[in-house]
Amino acid sequence: MELADLHAHTTASDGTYTPRQLVELAKQNGLRAVAVTDHDTTDGLAEARAAGKELGVDVVPGIELSTTFEGREVHVLGYFYDPDHEELRDLTARMRADRLNRLDKMIGRLQDAGVAITQDEVLEEAQGAVGRPHIARVLMRKGYVSNIPEAFDKYLGSGKIGYVERLKVTPGDAVQLILRAGGVPVVAHPGLIGKDYLFDTLVPLGLVGLEVFHPDHPLEKRAHYEQLAKQHGLLATGGSDFHGGGAEHRGALGSVHVPYSVVETLRAKAVYQGWT
C-alpha cells in the first residue's frame, strides 16, 4: 500500500529538519506523500515542493493554524489552499508579527524573574517562525530545565511566569478562511482538545476532516474519533506530527500514516486546483 504522512514540520516553524531534509527522509522511509504543515507559515513549501519533484515524493501543501477555543489551543490544518490568497497571507503576516511581539514580552518576563536568556538566542534557535518550543530549547541548553516538558510546566505554560497570550483566532475563523482560500480544513489531534462538542459548531461552517490517526491518540481514541468522523461525515486523516527530535517531537516520520488515497480525496475536495 502507498502511504502518506499528512502532518509534519520543518525549520520554517518548530521542526529541526529543513524542508528538503524532510522530503529526503520521506523518500528514505518509503512514503508516497508527505504534507508540510508548519505552524502559521507557508515559508517551507517552495523548497519542499522542489525537492519532492526531484525525488519523486508527492509534497502536499499544508499549514497548521493556531487558534483558541475556551482557553484551549486548537490547531486547524489546511491542505491544497491558494498560497497567494490575500486573507491567508494577511493572517500569516499578522501571526508572524504577533510571534515576535509575544517573544519580546515572554523574554522580558523571564528576565525579570532572573532567567538569563536573550531574544537573539531564541531567534538563532528558531530559524523560522518562532514559538515557545524554541524558548524551551534555550532554557534546556542553558540548564534552567532538564527537558522540554519541564520548561512548559515551570515557565511557559498557561498561567506561568513566561506565558503571554497569542493573537486571538477562533477555530471557526480558521476553517472559514481555509475554505475561502480554496483549501480543505481539518482539525488536528482532537484528542488533545478534549471538547468534542466543538464539532457541532465547526461542521456546519464547512469543516471537511478530522485527524483521527495521531501519535497522541491511543487505539481507543482512534476508534472514538473514527466513529465521530463518520457521525459528522468527515474525512479521517492522520500523520506523525513529525518535528525531527525537537521540542515537540512525537515519533518518526511515517510512524503514523494513512493510505495515499486520502491525499487524492483531499486534492479532489479542494476548490483551488493550482498545485501541480
CB atoms near residue 127 (< 10 Å): 16
Contact by Cβ (8 Å): 201, 193? no
Query: What angle (nearest 5°) sits at the alpha carbon of residue 187, between those of residues 181 and 191?
Result: 170
> pLDDT digit string (tens) for 158-216?
889 999 988 889 999 999 999 999 999 999 999 999 999 999 999 999 999 999 999 99
Residue 247 has pLDDT above 80, yes or no: no
pLDDT at site 222: 97
How many CA atoms are closer than 13 Å to the CA of 171, on its beta-carbon side?
Answer: 30
Rounded to whole angstroms, the Cα distance separating 159 from 217 reads 26
Choice between 129 and 69, residue whose per-residue pLDDT is larger: 69
pLDDT at site 128: 72
Give the span between the Cα atoms of 119 and 81, in whole angstroms.
33
What residues have CB less than 8 Å from 86, skipping those under 6 apart?
none
**Alpha-carbon gap, residue 61 to 178, rounded angstroms:** 12
Using 50, 70 and 90 to split pLDDT, how confident is the model at 71?
A: confident
Mean pLDDT in residue range 47-74: 96
All structural domains of the chain, each given as residue ranges with its CATH number in brackets, are 3-83+184-269 (3.20.20.140)
Q: Backbone phi, then psi, for 193, in 5-degree steps?
A: -90, -45
Q: What is the pLDDT of residue 129?
A: 75
What pTM does this model have? 0.87
Would you state the pLDDT for residue 120? 92
Q: How far apart are CA 60 and CA 49, in angstroms?
A: 8
Band (246; pLDDT cuts 50, 70, 90)? low
Q: Are 65 and 184 in contact (CB under 8 A)?
A: no
Decide if pLDDT at 250 tops 90: no
- Residue 87, pLDDT above cutoff 60: yes
